[in-house]
């Protein structure tokens, strides 16, 4: 009996606790959503769009386990409005369009179905075939973090023999209530297009874009972020005119030319332009970017990789040697943080003001404002770039590697640092002083066979003179060099030149002989 009483008491306590939690969740959901309406109108509608986009007629009907809300969005430039319905599920156990979740509450969005009455029959039929086209919503975790999602069903368009297909996918966005930290992930498993002739088209597979934007001093900072883009494969096929066909450039015999001058009607018709098929397939595509803040300075980097390139498209070959892979890395280091934020904040303010003017149709005022904004931005940019230049910034090509089908390669790296620049150097445009405070270091190598493929007039004797002068190193088919510029002095491999002019004179003499 005691065990039964204890069990009943336990169940009762849990029921009261669950009821209290649900009641608090319902209250919190209403409070948060009403605050969100006010924030949208102030920050977006008023701050960015000059009240051209407003959230109006907000209604909230609170229930114990579920609540309903709706609001109208005015559409810029039209008297129309869009009614959005919100279905709120009160926690702690939440059933959402993105599955079961644990949290305070969840919100699923829906466009008022009444809008369908305004669509034409063809649009209604298409939407009927894509009932699960979109699902948008978010839930608030017990730690108050927002977890938003955007689910897209499979999309198919077919028109006049052309076909477009986008696979079903889900995108996510996580952020805190203060918008001081954002994580995102956008994914697209497959996207394809097929032309009417079935000979042209393209496809991409396994595309993912994800990353995070962090805060600086409690404020979201786009310079303090990390991003990663990857693509499993990209392929396309197209038909292009083959202007390289020899018959298009064959000269007409003199006798035929004379006859043509005598009787224009006898000139033969131009031959039809031949078409050629170009096919390209690229696998393992990656782009990444990273920005971090340390001791008042930003370090930012971007890298690109095309891992496996196959095909015969114009522009994807050096001479007649197709490019098969490419890697490139770029970075900015020791960039004065306050000055960089000043540049980005000024750009945001300028674009916000221009957007407000364009929505009002004040294009003349917009042109005047653009001119004054550009002038003001110029002053801001000079001030901030000057500060950045005085704090020893470095710009680098961290990596460049290109390989071809014939197993030839080209690679290198380069870094440029301004060291110890002063106001007097910049204000007086003292170029000699600025040159003396430049630190440049780099190295590179290339297959000589690749150079010959790239340059139809490649002169091996000139390269041999550079090798003998110890400005270029030869190792079999590979040509390489290393150099450093410091305090106005240039070092190439083991040779030292007192100035840029002395180096230029030496190389000119060697290449002009």
Distance (Å, whole) CA 309 – CA 326: 9
Count of C-beta atoms within a 10 Å radius of residue 486: 15
> Residue ranges per domain, the chain?
14-132, 153-241+276-311, 334-473
For the stretch 217-220, contacts whose Cβ atoms lie closer than 8 Å and that sit 24 or more positions apart, written own/partner, are 218/178, 218/180, 219/180, 220/179, 220/180, 220/181, 220/182
Q: What's residue 374's pLDDT?
A: 61
Segment 447-497, tens digit of pLDDT: 999 988 888 778 888 899 999 999 999 999 999 999 999 988 999 999 999
Measure CA of the first residue to CA of the last residue in the chain; give whole Å: 110
Q: Which residues of 122-161 are buried (b: 16+ CB within 10 A; e: fewer)?
A: eeeeeeeeeeeeebbbbbbbeeeebbbbbbbeeeeeeeee
Taking only Cα atoms into account, the Rg of the chain, rounded to an integer number of angstroms, comes to: 32
8 Å CB contact between 304 and 334: no
- Give the C-alpha distances (Å, rounded to integers) separating 379 from 339, 342, 359, 390: 13, 12, 27, 17
Segment 219-267, tens digit of pLDDT: 888 889 999 999 999 998 877 676 654 444 444 444 444 444 444 455 5
Q: What's residue 171's pLDDT?
A: 93
Distance (Å, whole) CA 393 – CA 404: 34
**What is the chain's mean pLDDT, rounded?**
82
Q: Tell me the DSSP string of 383-451.
A: HHHHHHHTT--EEEEEEEEEEETTS-EEEEEEEEEE-S--HHHHHTT-HHHHHHTEEEEEEEEEEHHHH
Q: What's residue 209's pLDDT?
A: 95
Q: Tell me the DSSP string of 93-147.
A: EEEETTEEEESSEEEEEEE-GGGGGGS-HHHHHHHHHTTTSEEEEEEE-TT--EE
Q: What's residue 369's pLDDT?
A: 59
Segment 345-374, tens digit of pLDDT: 877 777 777 766 666 665 556 556 556 666
**pTM for the full model?**
0.77
Quick check: helix, strand or coil at residue 51?
Answer: coil
Segment 150-191, tens digit of pLDDT: 998 888 888 888 899 999 999 999 998 777 899 999 999 999
Rounded to the nearest 5°, which phi and psi values hold at 363? Answer: -70, -30
């Amino acid at each position: 009996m005691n065990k039964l009483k204890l069990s009943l008491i336990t169940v009762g306590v849990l029921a009261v606790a669950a009821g209290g939690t649900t009641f608090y969740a319902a209250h919190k959901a209403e409070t948060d959503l009403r605050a969100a309406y006010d924030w949208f109108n102030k920050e977006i509608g008023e701050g960015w769009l000059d009240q051209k986009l407003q959230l109006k007629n907000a209604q909230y009907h609170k229930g114990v386990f579920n609540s309903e809300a709706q609001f109208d969005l005015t559409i810029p430039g039209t008297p129309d409005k869009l009614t959005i319905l919100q279905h709120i599920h009160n926690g702690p156990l939440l059933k959402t369009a993105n599955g079961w979740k644990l949290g305070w509450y969840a919100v699923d969005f829906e466009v008022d179905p009444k809008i369908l009455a305004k669509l034409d029959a063809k649009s209604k039929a298409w939407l009927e075939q894509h009932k699960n086209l979109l699902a948008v919503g978010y839930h608030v975790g017990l730690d108050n973090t927002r977890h938003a999602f955007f689910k897209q069903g499979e999309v198919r368009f077919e028109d006049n023999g052309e076909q477009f297909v986008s696979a079903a996918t889900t995108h996510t966005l996580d952020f805190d209530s203060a918008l001081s930290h954002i994580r995102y992930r956008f994914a697209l498993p497959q996207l394809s297009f097929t032309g009417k002739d079935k000979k042209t088209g393209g496809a991409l597979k396994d595309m993912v874009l994800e990353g995070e934007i962090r805060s600086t001093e409690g404020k979201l900072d786009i310079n303090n972020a990390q991003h990663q883009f990857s693509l499993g494969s990209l392929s396309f096929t197209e038909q292009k005119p083959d202007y390289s066909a020899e018959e298009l450039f064959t000269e007409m015999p003199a006798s035929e030319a004379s006859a043509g001058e005598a009787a224009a009607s006898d000139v033969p018709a131009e031959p039809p332009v031949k078409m050629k098929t170009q096919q390209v397939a690229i696998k393992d595509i990656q782009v990444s970017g990273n920005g971090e803040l340390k001791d008042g300075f930003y370090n930012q980097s971007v890298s690109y990789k095309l891992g496996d390139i196959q095909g015969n498209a114009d522009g994807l070959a050096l001479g007649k040697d197709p490019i098969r892979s490419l890697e490139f890395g770029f970075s900015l280091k020791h960039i004065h943080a306050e000055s960089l934020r000043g540049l980005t904040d000024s750009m945001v303010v300028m674009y916000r003001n221009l957007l407000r003017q364009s929505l009002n149709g004040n294009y003349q005022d917009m042109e005047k404002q653009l001119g004054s904004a550009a002038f003001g931005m110029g002053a801001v940019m000079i001030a901030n770039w000057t500060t950045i230049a005085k704090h020893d910034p470095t710009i680098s090509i961290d990596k460049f590697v290109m390989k071809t089908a014939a197993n030839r390669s080209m690679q290198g790296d380069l870094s440029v640092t301004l060291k110890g620049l002063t106001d007097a150097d910049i204000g007086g445009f003292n170029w000699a002083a600025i040159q003396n405070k430049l630190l440049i270091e780099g190295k590179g190598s290339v297959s000589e066979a690749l150079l010959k493929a790239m340059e139809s007039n490649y002169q091996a004797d000139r390269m041999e003179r550079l090798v003998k002068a110890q400005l270029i190193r030869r190792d079999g088919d590979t040509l390489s060099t290393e150099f450093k510029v410091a305090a106005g002095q240039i070092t190439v491999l083991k040779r030292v030149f007192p100035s840029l002019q002395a180096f230029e004179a030496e190389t000119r003499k060697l290449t002009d002989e």
